[in-house]
Structure formats: C-alpha cells, structure tokens
Chain A
Amino acid sequence: MRSRTVHLPGGPCPRELLLAAAAEAGRPPDMVLAFLPPEEFLRETLAALTGVWPDALRFGCEAVTQFADAETTSAGTLQLFWFSDPRHHAAVEVIPGTHGEPPTVRRIEAVARRIAAADGALLLVDGLRFPVERFLGELRRTLVSMPPFVAGGLASQVEPVTQAGSRVFIGDRVLPSACLVVTLHGVAMRVEVVRGWSPASPVYTVTRAEGAQVHEIDGEPAADWYRRFFTVDGELAPMPAAANRFPLIVEGPRPERQGLYRSMRRFDDPAGTVTFLGDVETGDHVRLGMGNELSLLRTASELSAGPEPEAAILYSCMGREAVLGDHSGQEAAAIRQALGGAPLSGFFTCGEIGPTPRGNLAFYNLTAILVLLREVGA
C-alpha cells in the first residue's frame, strides 16, 4: 500500500495541488480520506476531488482540527491510498440519519456481516445527531465475537453547533446525521487506544444515571459530588474545562465497561445532575482520573510501533486537545515519530470508537484511537 497525506492550504482547493500529490504514484489514488473544516469551502473541495479523481473512493467527515503527518491544521487534510494488489479494496456503506433512533436490527445485521467478512472497518459518525452508543450496543449484540479491528471517530463541529450537526460525506454528497462504515479488504489493521490518565480518587458507585446524565454517585447528587472536588477556595473551578484534566474513569464492574473514560460536559443545575459526553450506567464503578499535557504526550511517545505501518489514522478526543492546549500539535507528531514516520491523518474528535481491553467495541472520550494499516502481502 502506498499512502500520502495532503495538507490543504485553506480556501478553495487548487486542482494542481491534487494532481501533484498523485504524480509520484503515477495514477489516481484508489481511496481518498478527507477530514475537512466544516461549512465554508466543504462542497467546493468535494467538487474538486470529484473532478480530479472521479473514480477514486472518496469519503470523510467534517473536523475542526486535523492532522497531516506531524502537523496539526484547521485547513483540511487528505490522505491518499493506492493498493498494490488490484484485488485489495475498500467499500463504504452509508447508514443514513435516523432522527436519533438506531438503525433497524436487519440493517445492523447486514453491517455486521460486512464487517465480519472484511479485514478491518473504519467508522466515521455524525457524533452529534447519530445515536452512536445505541448503534454500537446493537452491533456488539449482533456480532458473535467482536474483532479488535473496528475503530473510528465522531466528526467534530465548531461551537455553537449548527442544526446541520457534524457531517460525513461520500463522493460529493454531504450526509447529515449519518454514519459511514468503511470496510477494508486486503489490509491488516491494528488499533491502539492511547490513554495517559492515572487514577486519582477512590472508587465510587453510580447509584442513578440515565443515558449521559448522572443523577447520583454513592447516593449523593452528582453535581454535589463533583463540587466537592472542584471547589477551590470556596469557588467552583471553571467547568467543564477543569474537569477535562480529571476525567471520569469507569472501573467496571461489567467487564465490557472497564477502562472507559467520560468527559464531563455540564452541570444541569438546578437538577443537580451532571451530563457527560457518553453514557454512564447505574451500577458503574467510577473514579476520577488525572492527567495533563505531559502525561498525554508521554503516553503518545511511548507507543510501540510494532510492524512498520504503511499508513496511520488518528482519532484524538477534543478533550485531549483542550488539555494539551498549546501543545495540541505535538501529540500527532509524537505518535508519528513513535511509529517511524508513517503517513498519518486524522482529527480531534467528538468521541472515539475502539476496542476495550477485553475485546469489546466501545465508545470512548478522552482517548486517542490510533489505526495502523498495512496492506496484506506488502
């Protein structure tokens, strides 16, 4: 597999830049993965890609901040792929918007069959309008054994989020509220979950929660529980920014939930509840973790490269971007260096999809999911 990234300049995408990017390969790419800034020039860029590489499989999603190899940008990133073996390929299945309801069981079963028949699968999701956790739950139930080579991220959007949500696209079609399931054939795929957080509090039990909203922890209103930790000199620290550095870690007891992280999103005063960027379940054992830019970068730089990948895709949480602050550009660079310089694209996500330590498929916050690709037989 040959791969390279293209760091877009911003504004309308110049045709010459695209042609030059493919010149070395001597043929148009087989697959084009695009992480493009929302709104303004999205459609023009997609039209340019269609014009230059009409036969390539083109897909991607909106992203506020993207990675292009060692750089971090907000102008957009492309990653081009050429398969060495003509039998190897990728395919995209669109699961259209369902107005907040998960797809039908029959549809999920069809998706599961395709994933099971592939060597790996990437998921790009409108994280704001597509019920990703319920979808993953159904997918877990349908797949007899969950392979560890399904990963992806939730498209991100600038604040305030528009009605359009954070969209995905295929060809020049922009799809709101949808999910793309990209199955890879002839490609060995490895997934790493990059964390960087340490336990910092005792373990508590969530005594009441509904979806992403937690009512009580150890019988105490969740907001009061949070305030105990985040009140300094009689004042509540700025939330949720301060809470990003102290994520909620799920410690079980259900094995499939062990090791999940949740970002706090807001206090729901006066209800006394706390809303997270992901579901928390009644009965979850939780604790607060802690981390900072140093711990996150150190974890990134300590990644084991394994067999040298031919391409890498990084889905890193926007919560990590907030913690990294001025160093947000260094995470992708550190990871790329640890991998030995493989072409890398990606973006800061609204949530990540990856395997748990016990092999289940889970929805994460505050992790970086790294997908490493290598064509089989290369």
Chain B
Amino acid sequence: MKTGPLELDNAILRNLLAETTRAYETQMAELYAEKELAQVTLASIGDGVLATDEQGAVKYLNPVAEKLTGWDRAEALGRPLPEIFRLTGQGGDGHDVEELLRHCLEEGASFRLADRVTLERRDGRRYAIESTCAPIRSLEGLTVGAVLVFQDVSDKRLMALQLAHQATHDELTGLLNRQAFDGHLLRALDEARALANTHALCYMDLDQFKVVNDTCGHLAGDELLCRITALLQDSMRETDLVARLGGDEFAVLLARCSLPDAERRIGEFHRALQQFRFTWRDKTFTVGASIGIVPITREFRTVAHLLSAADHACYAAKDKGRNRIQVYQEDDATFVRRHGEMNWVVRIQRTLEADRFRLFSQQIQPLSPNAPPGLYFEVLLRMVEDDGRIHLPSDFIRAAERYGLMRAIDRWVIRNAIRTLKSQPAPFLDLLQLCAINLSAVSLGDEGFFDFLAGELAGSGVPPAKLCFEITETAAIVNLAQAQRLMAQLTAQGVRFSLDDFGTGMSSYSYLKELPVSFLKIDAKFIKDIVTDSLDRAMVESINQVGHVMGIQTVAEGVASAAVVERVKALGVDFAQGNWISPPRPLGGGEAAGEEIAPPSLPGDIGRVPL
C-alpha cells in the first residue's frame, strides 16, 4: 500500500460513505416498501380509515372512507374533519365530532363512538357505523393527529333490530309477546304508583277459536287470529299496546285511560267483534270473546298480581256465559270464588306431594242377563287434607283444571289404580270385567300419555282390556285430532272408552261417529226423575236407541231407587250405577266380596263424580 496516512484515512472514509449510502438506500427502499404495503393495506381493508393532522384537518382517506363519506380524497384533504365526517346520531357520551376530536388531540384520549351513531354521506345517504378514534403520536410521544376507523354496520344493526323485534313480538300477528308486554305493564304499574296515572289492562280470550281450529285446521285458526288482531288494532289508539299472550289470548294496555273510558273503548271493540264474521271456505263463524278489564292502580303490587286480576275478570266473563266484558272488582262473589280456587291449587299440590289422595270405587251393575258375569266399577277420587277432612272432586277439580294440575292428578289416579288392581288376590283380575277411570281433556291431548300408560301397565299383569277411560264430550273436542289419535292407539291395545255425562254438553250425535267409544253414560239428570218425567224417559230412550244402533252400550248414572232401576232396565239400558246400587267404597276394599262400605263422611254422595 503506497498511500500515506491521510490518503488512507480518506480512502477508508470513502468506503464508509459508500457503505452508509448503500445502507441508506436499503433503508429507503425498505421504508418505501413499507409505505407501499401500508398504503395497499389501507386501500384494501374493508374499514374506512380517515386521518387528520394535529389541527383536525383531514390528511388521508382510504377508498372505503371515500365511499362512506362521499368525499374524494383530493377534495377532502385539508378540510376540517366534522365537515367530512358528519354524524347525525349521537356521538360517544353525547358529544359531537368536533368535541370528540378535540378531546382526542388535546388529551391524547382514544374513544369509541356510541352504538347508535349514523354517518351522513355527502349526498345525504345515511349509514349506521361503528367507529373508534385514536391519537397519532410521534416518536417523541407528541400527538400529531388522529385516526378514525369506521365500519358500515347498517346490515348488522338491521339484523340486530330484527332479532330484537323477534324477541319481543309474536311471529304470527306481529303484536308484542308476553315477555315484552310484561315489561310495559311493569312501567305502567310504576307510573301508576309514582304519578297516580290511570291506565287500564284488558285481557281477552276468544270463545270460538278452538272450534275454528278443529273444524277448519290450523291455517284457518292462524288467519282468524290475524283478523282479530287487525280488528283489535283498528279499535285502539296509537298509544295503546296490544299483545298476544299465547293461543287465543290477547291483552291491551290502555295508557292514561280511565276505567269508564276503557270500558267504552273495549265495548266498541266488542260490538265490532259481534258484527265480525269469519269465513273459511264454505263455513262462516261468529266469534265471541270473554274480556276482563282491570284498572291499573297502585294497589297492585306486582305485574303477576295485575295479570292475575285481569285473568280473574276474564274468567268471570266466561263464567257468566262467555262473550261479554267483566270489570274486575275485588269483592265480587265471582272473584272471591276464583280466589278460593287459587287456594285449592296449593292444597292440591300439597296433597300430591304428600301422596294423600285416596281412591274409591263404585259398582256398575249389569242389567242385561247377557252381560258377562264379573266385577264392573268406576274408580273415584277423594282428597284427604292435613287435618283429615275428605273432599269430593267437585270441590277441587275446577281449580285443578284451571291451573294445569289435571295431568298430574290423572297420572296419580291411573298409577295407583293399576297398583291396587295388581295387588288384589286372585282371582280378582279374572273376575274383573271393567274398571272405569275418568280421564281429563289435558291427558287426552297429552302426546306422552300413551307411553305413560304403557309403562304403568307393563309388568302389572292388568290386561288393557279391563280398563275403560271415561271422557266427556267437551274434553274430546278441545283437541279432537289428538284425542282421536290417542283413542285409536289405546283401542288397538284393547282399552275401552265411555262417553261420560252424555246429554249435558252439546250432546251431538255426530261426535259419536268421530269417537270410538264403547259406552255412553247417560247423565243423572235424565235418570233421577225418569219414573215420573216422560220427557226424561224419552231422552233416555232416544240416547239408548242411538247408542245401540251404533253398537255402544249404555249406562244409567245416578240410580237412586229400585223403581229407577226397573225403569231403565225396561228401556233396555245395559248398566246402572248409583248409590242405591252401591255407594262408593275404598278401592281394594272388597269389590270381589261384594262388601259394601260407605264412607261415613259421604252421606250426600250422589253417585256421580267427575272422576
């Protein structure tokens, strides 16, 4: 190396400079690539991105931000953010964009805009957006601008609204559902307590809905509900809230409405309903409604209490003959009785839990010499309370039906009846010809009943053919299709059915064709005076003849004397049942021995009980 120290140093410095230049160029290339990548990324992402300088003037918009704001980048650059990013909803914490931006730039705070913010595009079109804003900081930590990231969430928000609507509204009618209505009732109740405002609650139950549903099908039922909904909405003010609580039950919250006003308004609706005719194909129906009205006052402690009062009023309307309006009055005899039913509910539940129901039986006497010899009886139910008092079904069945306890009672009776039959010494089951058990409408419509009965009979040794379920016309037509299905299934197993209380309900002979029954039990009211009343005699004769024509055997209920027995026997009735023949006695207490044990507490037993 021939160079001197200075030249050598200069040469080394040139090397260093070249290296520095190369490194600088590399860094610049990397920075450029990073910038390109950042720009491509910003241009590609689905979110709008908008950046400002430290004064809040727009410095950058990506294409999505251009689309959502309606501003071209070239036009937007340098303009104040609030001019480009115009919110028509409420900003975070109720501030406007300008204030939020200042908060971000001056205090370096990030924030998220509230959920219900709407961005107004330059052409006036609006987008629901979600947005966050954060300060941009220099390497030294100074705030040099702000960046907004926002998304068009119009679809998402619409979907959320739809979901919220679905959660609070009835799908068929579009009315408020039970849950949402309860919320409104709660607010009305609070308001009544706090401000002494007067509101009214109307609760209604359609009277003919099941008939329409059963005779014309579910589509017709749905259409009827929609028509009633329209009628109801037309009759109410915009401030009134109409809800479908389920099935054919509707409710209306009449806001700031005195009781007389509510009665007048609901009365108008009721009159309109009277005029209304529902036509489905070739059938036309009139539709009635049992309506209860309750003034919403501070005396009601809870929504449940309020709804219960409305339900009571509606029930009272039904009780008085249906298709009428009943205003709730706490001391009214109907409401008192209804209140009594509520007490029964607790007592029934307690009796079920403590297993204190007891089964009795009442003999059914064959009148025809051709009847196979053996035991024929009906199983009867008694409730024994804590203090030993015994109650007839007539005391508590109404409450049990009303408050959904029949399913549990039916199952208790069947389970215990089969156990008792099973436990009797031979040749009890061989002698047994017929064990009749009452079955409620609820169990007839219970899709799980068949499996339940099969489970109870399995291994019991009790042949299904020994059982006969007693049903009423009314129970059968509540859900005719399901009742027919169940009866067909059980009949196929050998179980028989009898139609109870025949003559008291609609007594439509046409139902006899629809229902596979083996026995008709002629109601006691036709039997008790049959010796002296020719009309009763004619009725019994008629029923007996129709039954026999259809291959159905008949049973005279409530037989109270030898003369009655003679009379019904003369008319050709197949069986007789009543206290004169045999008073009720505990089931399993000697049916086979013919022992007659009348419970001392039942002197007035009339021989016919619902179960």
Contacts and interface: CB of A to CB of B under 8 A. Distances in A.
Identify the 8 closest CB pairs spanning chains A and B, nearest first: A202-B23, A232-B11, A229-B15, A235-B1, A200-B16, A201-B16, A202-B20, A237-B8
A238 B13 CA distance: 15
Interface string B474-497: 000000000000000000000000
Given A200-B16, A246-B12, A288-B16, A232 B23 contact: no
B9 A245 contact: yes
Given A201-B20, A230-B15, A237-B11, 20 more contacts: A200-B13, A200-B16, A200-B20, A201-B23, A202-B19, A202-B23, A228-B15, A228-B19, A229-B12, A229-B16, A232-B8, A232-B12, A237-B1, A238-B1, A242-B8, A245-B9, A245-B12, A246-B12, A288-B16, A292-B9
Contacts of A242: 8-9, 12
Nearest to B22: A202
A232 B16 contact: no
Interface residues of B, number: 13
Interface string B553-578: 00000000000000000000000000
Contacts of A292: 9
Contacts of A290: 9, 13, 16
Contacts of B11: 232-233, 237
B8 A202 contact: no
Residue among A230, A233, A237 facing the most chain B CB atoms (10 A cut-off): A237
Contacts of B9: 242, 245, 290, 292
A104 interface: no
B6 to A, nearest CB: 9
Interface string B18-42: 0110011000000000000000000
A119 B411 CA distance: 101
B379 to A, nearest CB: 93
Residue among B11, B16, B20, B23 facing the most chain A CB atoms (10 A cut-off): B16
Contacts of A237: 1, 8, 11-12
A206 to B, nearest CB: 16
Nearest to A245: B9
Nearest to A237: B8
A207 to B, nearest CB: 16
Contacts of B15: 228-232
Contacts of B1: 232-233, 235, 237-238
Contacts of B370: none
B3 interface: yes
A201 B17 CA distance: 7
Interface of B, secondary structure class, is helix
B13 A201 contact: no
A184 B19 CA distance: 48
Contacts of B13: 200, 290
Contacts of B16: 200-201, 229, 246, 288, 290
A162 B15 CA distance: 38
Given A237-B1, A238-B1, A230 B19 contact: no
Interface in A165-214: 200-202
28 contacts: A200-B13, A200-B16, A200-B20, A201-B16, A201-B19, A201-B23, A202-B20, A202-B24, A228-B19, A229-B15, A229-B16, A229-B19, A230-B12, A230-B15, A231-B15, A232-B12, A233-B3, A237-B1, A237-B8, A237-B11, A242-B8, A242-B9, A242-B12, A245-B12, A246-B12, A246-B16, A290-B9, A290-B16
A377 to B, nearest CB: 44
A288 B15 CA distance: 12
Nearest to A229: B15
A288 B20 CA distance: 11
Interface string B391-413: 00000000000000000000000
Contacts of B24: 202
Contacts of A231: 15
A232 B6 CA distance: 13
Interface string A213-257: 000000000000000111111010110001001100000000000
Contacts of B19: 201-202, 228-229
B20 to A, nearest CB: 6
A233 B12 CA distance: 10
A321 to B, nearest CB: 15
Residue among B3, B12, B13, B20 facing the most chain A CB atoms (10 A cut-off): B12
Contacts of A228: 15, 19
Contacts of A201: 16, 19-20, 23
A245 B16 CA distance: 13
A199 to B, nearest CB: 10
Contacts of A229: 12, 15-16, 19
Nearest to A200: B16
A287 to B, nearest CB: 9
A138 to B, nearest CB: 36
A4 B8 CA distance: 42
A229 B19 CA distance: 8
Nearest to A289: B16
A290 to B, nearest CB: 7
Contacts of A246: 12, 16
Contacts of A235: 1
Residue among A229, A230, A246, A288 facing the most chain B CB atoms (10 A cut-off): A229
A231 B20 CA distance: 16
Nearest to B27: A202
Contacts of A238: 1
Contacts of A232: 1, 3, 8, 11-12, 15
Interface string B157-179: 00000000000000000000000
A264 to B, nearest CB: 13
Contacts of A288: 16
A40 B24 CA distance: 54
A229 B11 CA distance: 9
B413 to A, nearest CB: 87
A290 B20 CA distance: 14
A245 B20 CA distance: 18
Contacts of B20: 200-202
Nearest to A288: B16
Nearest to B26: A202
Nearest to A204: B23
A233 B3 CA distance: 10
Nearest to A232: B11
Nearest to A201: B16
A290 B24 CA distance: 19
Nearest to A234: B1
A274 to B, nearest CB: 16
A232 B15 CA distance: 8
A201 B18 CA distance: 9
A228 B19 CA distance: 9
Contacts of B3: 232-233
Interface in A48-93: none
A233 B11 CA distance: 9
Residue among A200, A231, A232, A245 facing the most chain B CB atoms (10 A cut-off): A232
A237 B13 CA distance: 12
A210 to B, nearest CB: 26
A201 B20 CA distance: 6
Contacts of A200: 13, 16, 20
Nearest to B3: A232
A228 B11 CA distance: 12
B247 to A, nearest CB: 75
Residue among B3, B9, B13 facing the most chain A CB atoms (10 A cut-off): B9
A87 B544 CA distance: 140
Interface string B414-429: 0000000000000000
Contacts of B23: 201-202
